[in-house]
Structure 1
Amino acid sequence: MGNSCRKHCQAIRRLLPCGNNGTGKTEVIVIPTEQHKPTYVALYDYQARTPDELSIFAGDRMQILNSNQQNWLKARLLSPRENLEGYVPINYVAPVTDIASQPYFFRNFKRTDAERQLILPGNGVGSYLIRESESQVGNYSLSVYDGTHVKHYRIHKNDNDGYFITTRTVFPSLQELVTYYSQNADGLCCRLANPCLRNEAPLPPDLCYETADHWEIDRNSLKFLKRLGHGQFGEVWEGLWSDTISVAIKTLKTGTMKPQDFLREAQFMKNLKHPKLIQLYAVCTLEEPVYIITELMRHGSLLSYLQNDKGETIGLPQQVDIAAQVSSGMEYLERQNFIHRDLAARNVLVGENSVYKVADFGLARVFEDDAIYLARNDTKLPLKWTAPEAICDNKFSVKSDVWSFGILLYEIATYGKMPYQGMSGREAHEKVMMGYRLPQPPNCHASFYKIMLDCWKEQPENRPTFDTLQWRLEDFFEVEVSSYYDPKEFIQ
């Protein structure tokens, strides 16, 4: 062992039996010392919610002591409050050697996310971010706001680990590339100024470290503040958990499900984590009504949001963006082989900065069919959103969710109007079975309506996947643009 290793490692030597001849060999076990424990940096402020957790501020450095829990890391602060220990959410920190620790890097960001983020108030000319390339794994993309539009440039990596936008200027690191283009536009739409402003800190993966594995919580820890709405499954309230954390509380109608069935489904639902899905935090199932505790989306349902807007601020670009965000969440469910069963504008929620998330995924599985299909007042039923094969043969699939997505697009295009107006749910179903499809809404773009029609193909296998729907919506406004040096090096 060299001198440098002796400074950083301790070695324990022991004799272990080896083979059948009774001989042995010496095995050296290297135990990392403090210097070998990984160093992380805090990306956001986080206020500890339990005694086991650690409060951190953006920029704090820490050593990771334990990473056995999926979504939480046990850390010890290095500065400025040395030796304080506790658990921190994994999505609030990053290794100091990782590009994710840089203020300009946005992980899991797509081109459309970058465009949405960079035009938010506070970002000026030259605001920029770097994200992972969608089309070339291992490469990156630079997105820059020129004051009017967001331009995108592919960052290539050569065989010598050099980074470049154009081959005539190669840099040994991304940081040096950023530094250079901060001083010289050199073909970009403008010089890089400030990293793109981030939204609020991301949601922690759980209410707190203690609820990561034990997420049945005491209902007395919840305070109901304001009723946000009601629907097929029950009421939704804005509330507080432990008098500190804002949450949404869904109270499920008594007698409409078996708690044990719901718990089995909710266990899987809690593990579904995606930026466009409502995050399930905890449940109260020991008595009825059952409570579901989720993240809070202050602007309520997409249905109400559309109806209140009536086209005043939501035009075609916003409609396409809403649809693209919903399709992103549904594409994730598709990859998980998870069926929503009740996709509609009423089950999409609206947050700050035009963020839209799919809610109530999986709940329809554990409700009695009567609660869904056979209620007397069929204007409340999802028959108008449900694929023909699901109604006739109870055959739910991802492709039946695609049919419902087409109806959701109709709701978006009509600002929340009821589909098949003037018909009952049964009447609408009978007409659909005879080949009827909703007509193109007034002022609806022909390409947007074409996507609806594709979702309503009679044979489920002929309907597009959510993966296809997502890229069709994200590329809806794709146009040819002038190149930046080499057309292959510019993306839009």
Structure 2
Amino acid sequence: MNLIFHVRSERRVTFHPYSSLNDYIDHACCFHCRDGDWWLAKSLLTGDEGFIPCTFVAKAHSLEVERWFFKDLSRRETERLLVAPANKPGSFLIRESETTKGALSLSIRDLVAEEGDVVKHYKIRCLDNGGYYISPSITFSTLQELVKYYTRTADGLCQRLNAPCKAMLPQQPWAQDEWEIPRSTLKMMERLGAGQFGEVWMGYYKGRQKVAIKTLKEGTMEPAAFLQEANLMKKLKHDRLVHLHAVVTMEPILIVTEFMCNGCLLDFLKTEEGRKLKIPKLIDMSGQVAEGMAYIEGKNYIHRDLRAANILVNEMLHCKIADFGLARIIETEYKAQEGAKFPIKWTAPEAINYGTFTIKSDVWSFGILLTEIVTYGRIPYPGMTNPEVIRQLDQFYRMPCPEGCPEQLYDLMMGCWKEKPEERPTFEHLQHTLNDFFIATEGAYEMQP
């Protein structure tokens, strides 16, 4: 039996390869299949078919119809969404509590002079008769009435409810059988950067889907060896990793990935928008990178070139790890080929001296990346040449605490730079430490207004 759903988006979106689907609010759809973030749907009003994002639909007459209701969203992801550039002070959402089953929370973006953009959380309490309240002085029979009231007046909240939180549209789905693609299906539009092994372009696949295209200079790698490695790379799938879509295996080799509009983290931190980010957001971005690396760690991969230049940023300021050209699946360790080039200032001593790269050398690099983030893109070991860095590391030198860096964060860096690799923390530990960095100093919820 088909279920009837309401579409939550107010936008008209065209989805391929099927004909366009006009997904205005309150249009009813039936679903033929559901796969991942995108579902194949048919409008019962127009008969149009197409793929639609699952986050933009909800069962008719359910609470999920409301654009301000986010059913399964953690506190951390709530804060990331609300402080994204698409949202403003007064943006809000209601979500289910992580800690108390059946309880609800109201989360609002606020602007505090000393701290900048912050998110305040309020408990929504339930009455025995099914009503709701934040302050016991005024109660509501439905959540819709509660939202309507606080849209008119803050009445003790940090902000009047201004607009539902805007969420990012999922990436358009990529057909599983479109892996080795013809060069003719790609059109390069704008060169975004160039490096030792090639260039990166913004372009389009089949004229409609925006992608990033990485070119490899001829002779960089044998096509057969590249394809073998790419088949391993495409198995890495995580929200904190840039998604590999397809490859062109005839030289010059091309790698097609999802497009990240804010470019690399190194460049973004130097922009006007990046320079405005405060320590809590910088630490949150660090936690996102650690989350992606924890996934890589769990898959027995290594990255080998972890630095801010290889972290990409999207419109919601979500960070994703890119450039797995040097990442390889491992059993214990990967021996670097003699003469291989690697970035000295990000590289662990055992990798510099013996050419041995492990996940623990990635942890060292992550500590260096933390200095890049907290200094808005400063080059590590400022004023030192590569040979000077090598000599200093042989004397157990470590960079001093960057200006403005919290002491606890510097302690984390120093842990990443332990001389013995086995004494360095895991990425799983780093992820949890960074994600919980401010929990000890902030209240779980605001007081009742």
The offset of 1:362, in angstroms, is 5.5
* Cα 1:300–1:436 shift into 2, 3 Å: same
Residues 147-169 of structure 1: CA deviation (Å, up to 9, x unaligned):
544211356899x9979777979
- 2:172 paired with 1:204: yes
Q: What are the residue-to-residue correspondences of 1:42-441 with 2, within 5 Å?
A: 42-44=7-9, 45-50=12-17, 52=18, 54-59=20-25, 60-67=27-34, 69-70=35-36, 72-79=38-45, 81=46, 83-90=47-54, 92-96=56-60, 100-106=64-70, 109-119=73-83, 126-135=90-99, 140-146=104-110, 148=112, 149-154=118-123, 176-180=142-146, 182-183=148-149, 189=157, 193-206=161-174, 211-285=175-249, 287-307=250-270, 312-361=275-324, 363-365=326-328, 374=339, 381-391=342-352, 395-421=356-382, 423=384, 425=386, 428-429=389-390, 431-441=392-402
Whether contact under 8 Å (1:188, 1:484) holds in the other structure is: no
Distance 2:131 2:346 in 1: 49
Amino acid at match of 1:176: T
Amino acid at match of 1:313: K
Distance 1:259 1:154 in 2: 57
Distance 1:216 1:110 in 2: 37
Q: What are the residue-to-residue correspondences of 1:30-41 with 2, within 5 Å?
A: 36-41=1-6
* Cα 1:90–1:120 shift into 2, 3 Å: closer
* Cα 1:444–1:231 shift into 2, 3 Å: same
Matched position secondary structure for 2:429: helix
Distance 2:292 2:267 in 1: 20
* Cα 1:452–1:155 shift into 2, 3 Å: farther
Whether contact under 8 Å (1:47, 1:56) holds in the other structure is: yes
Whether contact under 8 Å (1:166, 1:485) holds in the other structure is: no
Amino acid at match of 1:374: G
Distance 1:252 1:109 in 2: 39
- Percent identity of paired positions between Structure 1 and Structure 2: 41
Whether contact under 8 Å (1:341, 1:362) holds in the other structure is: no
The aligned residue for residue 115 of structure 2 is none
The offset of 1:40, in angstroms, is 3.5
Distance 1:334 1:140 in 2: 35
Distance 1:97 1:240 in 2: 39
- 2:442 paired with 1:476: no
Q: What are the residue-to-residue correspondences of 1:443-482 with 2, within 5 Å?
A: 443-478=404-439, 479-481=441-443
The offset of 1:292, in angstroms, is 1.1
Matched position secondary structure for 2:44: strand
Matched position secondary structure for 1:150: strand
Matched position secondary structure for 2:245: strand
* Cα 1:137–1:39 shift into 2, 3 Å: same
Whether contact under 8 Å (1:157, 1:164) holds in the other structure is: yes
Distance 1:165 1:457 in 2: 51
The offset of 1:302, in angstroms, is 1.9
Matched position secondary structure for 1:237: strand
Residues 4-62 of structure 1: CA deviation (Å, up to 9, x unaligned):
xxxxxxxxxxxxxxxxxxxxxxxxxxxxxxxx223334344431222x45524243321
TM score, norm. by length of structure 2: 0.79
Amino acid at match of 2:304: R
Distance 1:298 1:56 in 2: 25
Larger relative contact order, structure 1 or 2 (CA cutoff 8 Å, min sep 6): 2
The offset of 1:89, in angstroms, is 5.0
Amino acid at match of 2:43: L
Tell me which structure has the larger Cα radius of gyration: 1
Distance 1:444 1:46 in 2: 43
Distance 1:40 1:412 in 2: 43
Distance 2:37 2:228 in 1: 21
Distance 1:322 1:205 in 2: 26
Matched position secondary structure for 1:328: helix
The offset of 1:393, in angstroms, is 5.6
Amino acid at match of 2:188: F
* Cα 1:371–1:464 shift into 2, 3 Å: closer
Number of matched pairs: 434
Structure 1 residue runs without a partner (length 5+): 1-35
The offset of 1:188, in angstroms, is 6.3
The offset of 1:439, in angstroms, is 1.9
TM score, norm. by length of structure 1: 0.73
The offset of 1:344, in angstroms, is 0.4
Distance 2:197 2:215 in 1: 8
Distance 2:358 2:292 in 1: 16
The offset of 1:455, in angstroms, is 1.4
Residues 387-445 of structure 1: CA deviation (Å, up to 9, x unaligned):
33445565544333222111101122333333234555465345435422222223433
Matched position secondary structure for 1:300: coil
Distance 2:236 2:65 in 1: 25
Structure 2 residue runs without a partner (length 5+): 113-117
Whether contact under 8 Å (1:373, 1:383) holds in the other structure is: no
Distance 2:130 2:300 in 1: 39
